[in-house]
Homo-oligomer: A and B are copies of this chain.
């Protein structure tokens, strides 16, 4: 590696917006030129990632290839810099006999230098788990690409290529005399993920350094959290980039973040980029006085400024005084736009039109709120936020077309216990009570009937969250979960609730993924199941 200066181009692409993506890359090259010998961009930085089944469309692949040509021309004026950039490219055949997919393209990265294409590498290991559909969408490559930067022998790998138990390839790279492995990534944020990446990269090293570059920004439910790094051949850290978008140079100081800072930033960026990339500027949400809507509002205010956040308190006949007071306090603390609409008139109109049973009577309040919020949204153009958390989404503790309605759900992948912890952290880290202490400390309630508490129908969240995590994120069996010291009947009951809510989640709103298995595109289970005898 011998003092190679590496720039990490943590761009934030939009899927299919080649001009936008190219401009970001060109801006990064301008900054890096003269300050680095090599600039590395993330996986598919030119076309955006993940493409999903858009990878079947020839115009997307054509667009990606012509953006690459433009970049090659552009690089003429920056001849002291080697550029590594991710893009899609047409595949000529299916080199793997076992691949049964419609894929027509490679997930590629090209090396460019002074107006010339040095070579193109195609990703070899295509992940097919969690949110990743690479094996479905791309044709794997099989060849190495070697290139040299200032006399340092480099090779390329893309993301999953280095996350393997198999050491055949890493040994071969070492045997070929590779000094630096350059790795563009499309690696989404997850709790503890940064450490996992370092561990995976170090495990793949065989006496060569690694330049690990990642994308930045939100794309639907995923947030790419940058955090590129440069490893010395012995695995020690030469440079650690931060999570922020833009160019980061290995000649500058490394950046450190705590795990909670990373989590908070991911939630903020996830919402901000979803809005920005879909051309929206404002959000609206119902403020119940509870902790979920409070934390969601705080994330929104951080993401787009409180002047673009509209909070509406929508008390029903069962809402308590403290709910309205807490909602109002939150709005004042955050400085967001606050209003109050009593829903009882609509409630009465429906009661007049249709006879409602107990559950229906509860649900209708949540649905009236959704009708009002969507009415304002359709009139004034704010995106409606759904404020459900992972615990209630798991067990179906929500009203369809009521509180589940919205265009984005900022905390849908946070367990209730994590919601409390993050709210507490936020107040502490901002040095003031943004989220009213009462919203944090009062017992949670949906307030859809008199004196209702979540714990009337659900176990304590500390237990519930542990069981959900075991069943959903670790795919443990009921016996295995019970063996961790939890009453077996309770586990059966929670498993049952999770399965019965599958149809609700199938219609669920997207939100930022922060866990190993989020409710979203990375978890694919049938709606119709019966496990009577398990």
Contact = CB atoms under 8 A, between A and B. Distances in A.
Given A100-B128, A128-B99, A277 B372 contact: no
B350 A371 contact: yes
Contacts of A355: 379
A377 to B, nearest CB: 8
Number of copies: 2
Interface in A376-399: 376-380
Interface string A104-144: 00000000000000000000111111000111100010000
A364 interface: yes
Contact of A378 (B101, B274, B360, B370): B360
Closest A-B pairs by Cβ, 5 of them: A360-B378, A357-B379, A17-B530, A349-B349, A59-B477
Nearest to A164: B100
9 contacts: A51-B526, A100-B135, A101-B135, A128-B136, A133-B524, A345-B353, A350-B372, A354-B376, A367-B371
A343 interface: yes
A453 B358 CA distance: 39
A532 interface: yes
B346 A350 contact: yes
Given A128-B100, A370-B401, A57 B160 contact: no
Contacts of A57: 475, 477
Contacts of A195: none
A23 to B, nearest CB: 12
A220 interface: yes
Nearest to A520: B506
Interface stretch (A175-183, A232-240, A507-515): A507-515
A173 interface: no
Contact of A507 (B51, B100, B370, B507): B507
Nearest to A377: B360
A50 interface: yes
A19 B529 contact: no
Nearest to A379: B357
Contacts of A133: 524
A378 B448 CA distance: 15
Interface string A317-342: 00000000000000000000000011
Contact of A374 (B135, B372, B401, B478): B401
A16 B530 CA distance: 5
Contacts of A503: 278, 407, 510
Given A48-B529, A349-B349, A374-B400, 14 more contacts: A15-B529, A16-B534, A17-B532, A20-B530, A52-B524, A60-B531, A98-B140, A219-B528, A220-B526, A274-B528, A346-B349, A350-B372, A357-B379, A367-B371
Nearest to A314: B353
B378 A357 contact: yes
Contact of A354 (B341, B349, B509, B526): B341
B135 A528 contact: no
A56 B475 contact: yes
A62 B533 CA distance: 12
B525 A54 contact: yes
Interface in A204-232: 219-220
B371 A371 contact: yes
A475 B128 contact: no
Contact of A345 (B136, B163, B352, B523): B352
Contacts of A63: 533-534
A97 interface: yes
A521 interface: yes
A526 B353 contact: no
Interface string A443-470: 0000000000000000000000000000
A134 B133 CA distance: 12
Contacts of A98: 96, 98, 124-126, 140
A309 interface: no
A17 B531 CA distance: 5
A533 B357 contact: no
A375 interface: yes
Contacts of A521: 524
A171 to B, nearest CB: 14
Given A52-B526, A126-B98, A526-B51, A19 B59 contact: no
A378 B350 contact: no
A528 B101 contact: no
A489 interface: no
Contact of A375 (B166, B220, B277, B356): B356
Given A128-B135, A524-B133, A375 B360 contact: yes
A73 interface: no
Contacts of A14: 528-530
Nearest to A521: B524
A89 B526 CA distance: 19
